[in-house]
Structure 1
Amino acid sequence: MAAGFAPGTNQHNIPELFHTGKHISIDDLKMRDDIRRNEEVQRYLSKTVPDYPTPVEFHVTEVSHVTNMGSVQKIFNSGGFIGHDPNSLSWWSLKINEADIQAAEERYLESEGLTTDHQPFLSQFTTSPAFDNETSRYGNFRFTFPLTELMEAYKQQMCDGQEPVLRVYGTKLFKKKIEYIILVHSPQASSLPELTSSPCVDYDGNRIVWRAQAICETHNFQLLKIGNQAVIQQLQRNNAEFYVWDQVSLVFYTSKVLSFPKRKLKDIYTYCKLPVDTKLNLSKDKNRSCDEADKFIKSLPDE
């Protein structure tokens, strides 16, 4: 593999390619010789798929941490979140709701010079796991915070009251997924570039601005532009295409516990289903029903 992307496996023992310190767009990934030579990645990245909305800018104000029952017990025992991987990183994902999708659709239409006078359509395309708030591959337990609240806690507990610095941690490639990772760290010297250098994602102090390039996991529709109209056409089932999808992850450097009141943790918990396909269950835990998960959360101490 040429310099830049390094092969490895992630914490779930899944093969990955990782480029540190850069967020590399899909168009640029397609031009790289080292990526062209990787057949596993090329299988989906090189596909020509029906036209779809891209890029689409999402303004996201909430983030989630999803985990299994054993890790929830550790969270309540310690009173919060701490990185358990070798780099002391706590992993979080963007939580995108229906209002975020509708607002992104309006921005997209405006940027393309298209009329907004039609039925909403973007939700037909936001089919990748990045937009799935009902299921998760990583466990039945989701904890969701407003980003501003989580950043304020990090500022006070990890940065001695100074503003945290967001940096470009890198780009991860999997067979079907491209992951753009942001490092949240105290304002210490670092060789990683600040997030302002990223072509894919930004932060304005209150929200993450994600310029999503691949929002469909399965392409069941195509977008036609006729005059100033956006026309959505459903594809025949045998013409549907799988393609890569991208997402943004935030990793908080937490060498000590980022703590919250246990009552607060209970209030922000919601239940997640695991995928029907057991091969996609990366939680290292058995699936819990909603009743089982809720009873477990209620059994944990409030203080």
Structure 2
Amino acid sequence: MMRQNARECTGTHFERHHLYLSDLKEKPNIKNVYLRKNNIPAYPESVEFRVQKVSHVTGQQGLRGIFLDSGFRQPLELVASDQRHFLWWDLSVTSDDISSAEERFLTSLFPRRSAAQIRNQPPVLNQFTSSKAFQKESSYGNFCFTFSLKDLLRHYGKQFCAGQGLALHVYETVLYKKEIQYTVVVHPRSVNIYDHYPRLPFNGDGVCGYNNGAMWWRCQSPAETYENQLDVNIFDKSVSVIPHHKEYYVWDHVCVAFHMEPGWVLHIDQDKLFERVNVCEMSEPPLLRGSDTKLSLHEAESILAELKGSSEAGGWR
């Protein structure tokens, strides 16, 4: 089904499914020139990342609202819409996450490498993880809040689940022009509108799942522009990178959508909010809300310092 999201980006939605890239390619009615390309150079496919942190990025208007509310709520302009109400978070992949994912990938290729082969293998995965899923920049604003997913689930469960616990479900796959978005929905067990959505797996097959405080994600395409090719040497049990002419492609990522009723605020202590927020550069295209504008790092740092000063002076208490 084709429809627009809250930021007026049109995509094809597949509810109740997390579809692999190969599944999407087999859909006969999808018209996507990037998805149909067959000249993409070899790259590390289905690399499993285990990510413990998530991030929420906003503009100046959203930043001030978060500190005013001491937490996160659905933007007021969306509350009146007929869409379901979500608080959106992206996986926040660290350099350590990439290194660990590379080690699992290499071990799956060569289960019996010698100590010398392991020692002599230079890093390669970081030459392919160039999509927005791995960048510090964001299209959504200059202010990035980063939390442990486990802690965020704990806060949400304590505030909204009334002792009944929460649930995680496979919500949908959305295919945009150059982007595949896998959405996981989090909701109180007492909210039954997601009962017909599959439970998010703990392990086994699937694009992503949650286990032991981390979201595991089998990345289908880590770059939106491929300028390198993966070369696998089965005799030396090693991999290397060969330069390749530029090829544009689709990239994929995982979003965690927390179900929010109108008026709900996911409260977080303000000291913790200041600990978890940083400024970031904005990437193209800008997807800001309302009257927000793109800021320089200096402007964003000044605004954040001003808010912190107001808080310390008691202006936000």
Query: Partner residue of 2:287?
Result: 282
Quick check: 1:61–1:207 contact (8 Å CA) kept in 2?
Answer: yes
Query: Partner residue of 2:26?
Result: 31
Give 1:163 shift: 3.0
Query: Partner residue of 1:44?
Result: 34
After superposition, the C-alpha distances for 1:96-131 in whole angstroms (9 at most, x for unaligned) are 011000000000001111643311110000010000
Counterpart AA for 2:45: T
Alignment RMSD, CA only? 1.5
Give 1:9 shift: 0.9
Query: Partner residue of 2:145?
Result: 143
Query: Partner residue of 1:90?
Result: 87
Give 1:218 shift: 0.9
Give 1:162 shift: 3.6
1:292 aligns with 2:295: no
- For residues 162 and 44 of structure 1, the distance between their equivalents in structure 2, rounded to whole angstroms, comes to 44
Quick check: 1:158–1:254 contact (8 Å CA) kept in 2?
Answer: no
Query: Partner residue of 1:252?
Result: 258
Counterpart AA for 1:283: L
Structure 2 counterparts to residues 213-232 of structure 1, below 5 A: 213-227=220-234, 228-232=237-241
Counterpart AA for 2:109: E
Pick from 33, 39, 59: which aligns with 2:50?
Answer: 59
- Superposition TM-score, scaled by structure 2 size: 0.87
1:240 aligns with 2:246: yes
Counterpart AA for 1:209: W
Query: Partner residue of 1:270?
Result: 278
Give 1:14 shift: 1.3
- For residues 150 and 163 of structure 2, the distance between their equivalents in structure 1, rounded to whole angstroms, comes to 14
Q: Can you give the 5+ residue segments of structure 2 that lack an aligned partner in the other structure?
A: 312-316
Pick from 119, 132, 135: which aligns with 2:135?
Answer: 132
Query: Partner residue of 1:191?
Result: 196
- For residues 289 and 229 of structure 1, the distance between their equivalents in structure 2, rounded to whole angstroms, comes to 42
- 2:34 is paired with a residue whose SS is helix
- Superposition TM-score, scaled by structure 1 size: 0.90
Query: Partner residue of 1:113?
Result: 110
Give 1:83 shift: 2.4
- For residues 161 and 175 of structure 2, the distance between their equivalents in structure 1, rounded to whole angstroms, comes to 31
- For residues 129 and 25 of structure 2, the distance between their equivalents in structure 1, rounded to whole angstroms, comes to 22
Counterpart AA for 2:213: N
* Structure number with larger C-alpha Rg: 2
After superposition, the C-alpha distances for 1:63-114 in whole angstroms (9 at most, x for unaligned) are 0000111111111222211223431200000000110000000000011116
Query: Partner residue of 2:16?
Result: 21
After superposition, the C-alpha distances for 1:154-198 in whole angstroms (9 at most, x for unaligned) are 110011234321001101110000000000011133221111297
After superposition, the C-alpha distances for 1:41-63 in whole angstroms (9 at most, x for unaligned) are 2x100112000000100000000
- For residues 270 and 234 of structure 1, the distance between their equivalents in structure 2, rounded to whole angstroms, comes to 34
Counterpart AA for 2:102: E
Q: Which segment is superposed worse, 49-58 or 183-192?
A: 183-192
- 2:216 is paired with a residue whose SS is strand
- 1:293 is paired with a residue whose SS is helix
Counterpart AA for 2:125: L
TM-aligned CA distance change 1:205 to 1:163, over 3 Å: farther
Quick check: 1:274–1:287 contact (8 Å CA) kept in 2?
Answer: yes
- For residues 87 and 288 of structure 2, the distance between their equivalents in structure 1, rounded to whole angstroms, comes to 15
Counterpart AA for 1:33: P
Quick check: 1:93–1:250 contact (8 Å CA) kept in 2?
Answer: yes
- For residues 292 and 162 of structure 1, the distance between their equivalents in structure 2, rounded to whole angstroms, comes to 44
Quick check: 1:19–1:170 contact (8 Å CA) kept in 2?
Answer: yes
1:10 aligns with 2:5: yes
